[in-house]
Amino acid sequence: MVLVLSLAAFAAPVSFGKSEVPSGPVVQAVMLDHNEYPCENCLFGIADYYFCFDANSKILIGHDKVRTQKWWQHTPTGLMERGKTVQIRFDDKYIWVPQAKGKDLRLTQDYTKKIFLDSDRCQAAVK
Q: Are 31 and 84 in contact (CB under 8 A)?
A: yes
Strand 46-55, strand 85-90: pairing: unpaired
45 falls within a domain: yes
| Tens digit of each residue's pLDDT (9 = 90 or more) over 58-98 | 999 999 988 776 655 566 767 778 999 999 999 999 999 98
pLDDT at 44 over 90: no
13 falls within a domain: no
6 falls within a domain: no
CATH number at residue 57: 2.40.50
pLDDT at 1 over 90: no
pLDDT at 11: 43
* 6-25 average pLDDT score: 52
Number of domains in the chain: 1
Cα–Cα distance, 49 to 75 (Å, whole number): 9
1 falls within a domain: no
* 100-104 average pLDDT score: 79
Domain extent for 31: 24-125
CA distances from 6 to 9, 11, 18 (A): 5, 9, 20
51 falls within a domain: yes
Give pTM, 2 decimals: 0.77
57 falls within a domain: yes
